Amino acid sequence: MKLLKVIVSCTDKGVSAHLPEVGGFITARGSIEKLKRDLPDGITFHIDGLYDEERAAWMNEPYTFEYVFHDIFSLLEGKKMLES
């Protein structure tokens, strides 16, 4: 199973995320919970829309996510979002 890093950046209005191994994919949501809820469907939709030659071999296999905060501010804001 492939482990994909999700780079999360927080602002005072919500969160955004990108996956370095999935070019062209970025998402934004109002909270970490919504990001985690919507990410699996969003990434599946993105991968399904790729041409065959754009797909990496791992994209046809199961994968899981590891959430990594972009910077200290994002880490602290993300922690506050999860606690509230």
17-76 pLDDT tens trace: 999 999 889 999 998 889 999 999 999 999 999 898 888 888 889 999 999 988 777 777
Q: What is the residue whose two structure tokens read 């754009």?
A: 54
Q: Is 42 exposed, middle or buried, given 0-12, 13-18 or 19+ CB atoms closer than 10 A? A: middle
User: Global pTM?
Assistant: 0.81
Looking at 1-84, list the stretches that DSSP marks H as alpha helix, in order from N- to C-terminal side. Answer: 32-48, 72-83
Cβ atoms of 2 and 58 closer than 8 Å: yes
The domains located in the chain, with CATH, are 2-83 (3.30.2390.10)
